[in-house]
Structure 1
């Protein structure tokens, strides 16, 4: 449930031996390829640093741990979602606003589908990543809760905004699980269906 990072270049050494410019997105993309090829547990931090053409200590300036690397520049994506929510007209009902945000945030260009699938397969399928993922999910839920709290005139820590945050997270994760299980499925359609169920309530299905 993280946006795909698709750097135009990867962090390999140049022919002249100079270290190229790197970014969180570039390092993450390189690591995703290594994890897919060798396995997450079998790939070390040193392997990632070597493939990116940087020192181990430099990698740790970008990421606090190997578990954080598959998430890419997630903080920047959260800022994008905050901006997206902030620009939704206030007259749009909160349920419709959340549906629009869920679909827009998780929209992946066709050219990035394969890399995004590899990333999400790691995040949802590797046991060693689950504890760290919960921290990232908490940050994502907080963005949703902040938006809902502003609309409802309550604290983002109140029960209702927090509940909506969990519901949105569940809808997104369910969509990703279905998408990973069926290569022919459409992620945007799954996100939209889950978002509509969230917006209408389970009672509307009976």
Structure 2
């Protein structure tokens, strides 16, 4: 997506419908289990037909995994929105701000942890989750490469992938440390400290 280009109305409408379906489906998954929840039940709970459901998601699995595509797009859009002259490391730190609501909000965190457990315990979902997480990083790697060189990413250049990989490692370290703490400090402070450890502010 071009920098600062608006999202078309049709696409915004599609994303809203997908978000509503996802919320409805998650409620059913948490209440009665993933395997015991059918597409028909999800569609009925959302007030639509099964045929309409398939306009937004090819399958039940895609509904669960689709949130990671939305997450990837949000992160890419957030990086696109950062000032072009801002250090890349600082831009990545600010991109991670969109994850704070998933961790610091008690209700959101409980829902996400429950859904993450469903993904981890369902082999086909976990395999696709790993693929989606790779896509998240690939989207950012291309953008970081452009920010650093004003050219598209050259696969033989390891620097963009190393920077993005390091940023995600810092995020994961911060998440693990925060969950192990008494949570008296905000998660954002842990992310700040973790990313400051590598001293890549000049990148």
| Other structure's SS at 1:106 match | helix
Q: Could you say what the CA RMSD is over the residues aligned between the two structures, in angstroms?
A: 3.2
* Structure having the larger proportion of residues in helix: 2
Q: Which residue of 2 aligns with 1:95?
A: 89
Rounded Cα–Cα distance in structure 1 between residues aligned with 2:21 and 2:179 = 23
Shift of 1:84: 2.3
Query: Which shows bigger deviation, 130-139 or 66-75?
Result: 66-75
Q: TM-score, normalised by structure 1?
A: 0.68
CA contact (8 A) 2:68 2:129 kept: no
Instruction: Name structure 1 gaps, 5 residues minimum.
Output: 1-21, 202-206
Distance 1:93 1:110, change over 3 A: closer
Assess, with a 3 A threshold, how the Cα gap between structure 1 residues 117 and 80 changes in structure 2: closer, same or farther.
same
Q: How does 1:38-117 map to 2 (within 5 A)?
A: 38-71=32-65, 74-102=68-96, 104-108=97-101, 113-117=106-110
Name 2:192's counterpart in structure 1.
192
Give TM-score, length-normalised by structure 2.
0.69
Q: For residues 65 and 174 of structure 1, what CA distance do their matches in structure 2 show?
A: 33
Q: CA deviation at 1:28?
A: 0.4
Confirm whether residue 150 of structure 1 aligns to residue 146 of structure 2.
yes
Supply the distance in 2 between the matched residues of 1:33 and 1:161 (Cα, whole angstroms).
Answer: 39
Does the alignment pair 1:132 with 2:125?
no
Q: How many aligned residue pairs are there?
A: 178
> 1:126-165: CA deviations, max 9, x gaps?
3322112122212211222022101222516442222333
What's the counterpart of residue 26 of structure 2?
Answer: 32
Cα distance between partner residues in 1 of 2:29 and 2:182? 20
Residue 13 (structure 1) aligns with:
none
* 1:133–1:75 CA distance, 2 compared to 1 (3 A): closer
Contact map agreement 1:28 1:71 (CA 8 A) in 2: no
CA gap of 1:32–1:182, structure 2 versus 1, over 3 A, is: farther
Instruction: Give the corresponding residue for 2:17.
Output: 23
Shifted more, 92-101 versus 67-76: the winner is 67-76
Q: 1:116 to 1:82 in 2, by over 3 A?
A: same
Query: What is the aligned partner in structure 2 of residue 119 from structure 1?
Result: 112
Distance 1:118 1:51, change over 3 A: same
Query: Unaligned 5+ residue runs, structure 2?
Result: 1-15
Over 3 Å counting, the alpha-carbon distance change for 1:51 and 1:164 in structure 2 is same
Measured after TM superposition, the shift of residue 24 of structure 1 is 0.5
CA distance in 1, matches of 2:173, 2:95: 16
